[in-house]
Amino acid sequence: MGTGIFENRYFKFERSVKNGIMKFRLLYSRRKAYRLRKQVVQTRGETILNRKLKRAIKAYSRKRFGTKAYWPYLAYYTELKGEFVDGWIPYDYYRYMMLPSINPQYSTEISEHKTFDHRIFGNFSIRPLYIFVSGIFYDADFNQVDAEQLIKSLADHNDYIVVKEERGTHGKQVRMIHASEFRLDIINRKLNYVIQPYVKQYKVINDVYPDSVNTFRVLTYLGADGSVSIKFSILRFGIDGSKVDNLSSQGQFIYFDEKGKPSEQAYNILGIPTGSSHKNTGFKYSDFSIPMYEELIEACKTAHRKYPYIRLVGWDVCVDEHGKPKLIEWNADNPGFYPEEALFGPFFPDDDEIFLS
């Protein structure tokens, strides 16, 4: 389609518009960093950031990332941690510079296709009862299933099921209903869905907080030599009757160190400590221990090896009643990062890992 100058101008224009949008995004993201920092200072009642510290942060930002403009997130991290730590990655850099280069966009899209997970990861993911793709129902092996037959066999299922909308985020597009209540009109025919059996969670995890399915978030990294390592691992749970464990829906988390030892305290989405035991169940976090923790970590590593197209993956894993780790979903587009990095990082002190050059 070589129509010469016109096309070149067009691409130039497209590029400059894209750059403009990116600048706007960075600006917007930094405004959020100010707000986060303010919130932390407000909760603490004191600020530790002074002129000297700010200067050090800006110097670090310029030295490592080429511009001091990345200081707002680093300042927020500093307030949260109580000190400045060399090696941190500011969230805006992580999201808009690092992730696009280590997780190319066309390779991350498949992580949002929940109807596809079991085909990539096999037994690690929950085997769907049914899936709904392009207006047709299928079983897990992609054999077409008649809608009436599906309702009949769901009526016999006699347990809860989970209906997940593809491309839904933050657990908002997930519905838990009894199988006998399934109706065709709860499905939007233009979208894809996966229908899974409801997973009863492992006893210890249930004891932490029984109303939500509490999931581990394990962040794995594929190194330049092909090895997969763990960047961090946390367990999230709901509070105050919430049915979901997402941090964005008031959920909290505990952090596990390399040996699998839990943090004394739980934290909220801002990274502010919320106490050493669950406010509703009274579960003491330092007592948390499950025998299959290592197995869970290994399962995430093995799964990442099956999809080496991206370097960083956030795995949402629960443990079923028999103690088997089960993949709920995986995130390659924008796996959460900032309170963890501030409190327990730096996870990427090595410039080679973030492909700065």
Candidates 5-13, 234-242, 266-274, 318-326: pick the segment binding other proteins (CB under 8 A): 5-13
**6 makes contact with other proteins (CB under 8 A):** yes
Give the separation between CA 80 and CA 12, rounded to whole angstroms. 42
Give the separation between CA 341 and CA 255, rounded to whole angstroms. 11
Residue 304 CB partners (closer than 8 Å, separation 6+): 220, 222, 228, 313, 315
**11 makes contact with other proteins (CB under 8 A):** no
217-256 residues in contact with other proteins (CB under 8 A) are 222, 224-226
**352 makes contact with other proteins (CB under 8 A):** no
281-340 residues in contact with other proteins (CB under 8 A) are 305-306, 308-311
- CA 22 remoteness from chain centre: 22
**354, 311 in Cβ contact below 8 A?**
no
Near other proteins by CB under 8 A: residue from 61, 78, 125, 192: 192
**112 makes contact with other proteins (CB under 8 A):** yes
Look-up: residue for tokens 């991350």? 108
User: Beta 144-145 vs 130-133: how paired, if at all?
Assistant: unpaired
Return the number of the residue (112 or 320) whose C-beta is nearest other proteins. 112
Q: In the bound complex, what is the minimum distance in angstroms from residue 226's beta carbon to other proteins?
A: 4
Return the number of the residue (39 or 277) whose C-beta is nearest other proteins. 39
Q: In the bound complex, what is the minimum distance in angstroms from residue 322's beta carbon to other proteins?
A: 28
Q: In the bound complex, what is the minimum distance in angstroms from residue 308's beta carbon to other proteins?
A: 5
Number of residues that bind other proteins (CB under 8 A): 36
Residue 204 CB partners (closer than 8 Å, separation 6+): 288, 289, 290
16-55 residues in contact with other proteins (CB under 8 A) are 17, 21, 24, 28, 31
Near other proteins by CB under 8 A: residue from 8, 12, 14, 188: 14
**5 makes contact with other proteins (CB under 8 A):** no
Contact characters 113-132, other proteins, x per CB under 8 A: x-------------------
Near other proteins by CB under 8 A: residue from 69, 110, 151, 272: 110
Q: In the bound complex, what is the minimum distance in angstroms from residue 118's beta carbon to other proteins?
A: 13
**Where do contacts with other proteins occur on this chain (CB under 8 A)?**
1, 3, 6-7, 10, 14, 17, 21, 24, 28, 31, 106-107, 109-110, 112-113, 133-136, 138, 142, 144, 167, 192, 222, 224-226, 305-306, 308-311
